[in-house]
Structure 1
Amino acid sequence: MTDELDARLDRIGRHPFRARFRLRGRDRAVVDLRGMRTVAKHAEDLIGRRLAPAEPRNDGRQTPYRGHPVFVAQHATATCCRTCLARWHGIPAGHALRDDERAYVVEVICRWIVRQYAPGHPPP
């Protein structure tokens, strides 16, 4: 699944809108200060509240563009709303996310954040 997920992230990252997102400034500092384990817990909580319900409140507009590295990663990985999840990841809208789907979304977000630190994907 690792290779498949990396290939999917590469494909999503080539989309002009998604390619604009990078981990910068305060968002990067949060990862530096708190560490990936804490950021992953934040991702679990945010996904549980904002994306996991069958009909999320303000779906399509529930994810801010900045303020936390998870938000930036959600836009970069097309995990920002149920429409993007369906279109890019094949997780249909209209049902509450199952535990495995929630875990997948968190993995996608965390993988993107880690890749922002990787030598092959240097931040600007």
Structure 2
Amino acid sequence: MSDSVPRSLDQRLDVIARHPFRAKFHLRGRELATAELSGPSAMRWHAYDLIAKRLAPAEPYKDGKQTPYRGHPVFVAQHATATCCRTCLERWHEIPKGRELSRAERAYVVGVICRWIEREVECSSGTMNAGPNA
């Protein structure tokens, strides 16, 4: 785990991952390859863009149905981390519905998504942050 990631974020992700529905989501195939090839900065940019359009408004279009299950690593991560709709965001992350997400809330959501993707990529490589000489 990188020193810049708060332990509480990993702890929250561990709690969410114990929920049977959330536990089913993992990066595989094309989505895993996309995350690995694009890298963390591109994933963060994609997450910011998708959150701004699909989750940040006070009343997102088709809220509860706006996030596809597959097609992009961020979509998979949103379902795995309960950041897929405003109802899940309220239930799991205590961010209330009915108002636009603040800048800090957007950054938090993107951080959750990106940390989950980072953990998935680490697990898939089997290295868990091991260096080239490990």
For normalisation by structure 1, the TM-score amounts to 0.94
Q: CA deviation at 1:121?
A: 9.6
Which of the residues 75, 82, 94 maps onto 1:71?
75
How many residue pairs are counted as aligned between the two chains? 122
Whole-Å separation in 2 of the counterparts to 1:119 and 1:83: 29
- Which residue does 2:89 correspond to in 1? 85
Q: CA deviation at 1:119?
A: 4.6
Identify unmatched segments of 5+ residues in structure 1: none
Say whether the 8 Å CA contact 1:115–1:121 is kept in structure 2.
no
* Runs of 4 or more consecutive aligned structure 1 residues displaced over 4 Å after TM superposition: 119-122
What is the CA RMSD across the aligned residues, in angstroms? 1.6
Q: CA deviation at 1:36?
A: 1.2
- Which residue does 2:130 correspond to in 1? none
* Distance change >3 Å, CA 38–CA 11, structure 1 → 2: same
Whole-Å separation in 1 of the counterparts to 2:125 and 2:17: 11
- Which residue does 1:98 correspond to in 2? 102
**What are the equivalent positions in structure 2 for 1:1-124 lying under 5 Å apart?**
2-119=6-123
Indicate the SS of the match to 1:79.
coil
For normalisation by structure 2, the TM-score amounts to 0.87
Residues 32-89 of structure 1 show CA distances to partners (whole Å, capped at 9, x for unaligned) of: 2211101110000000000000000000000000000000000000000000000000
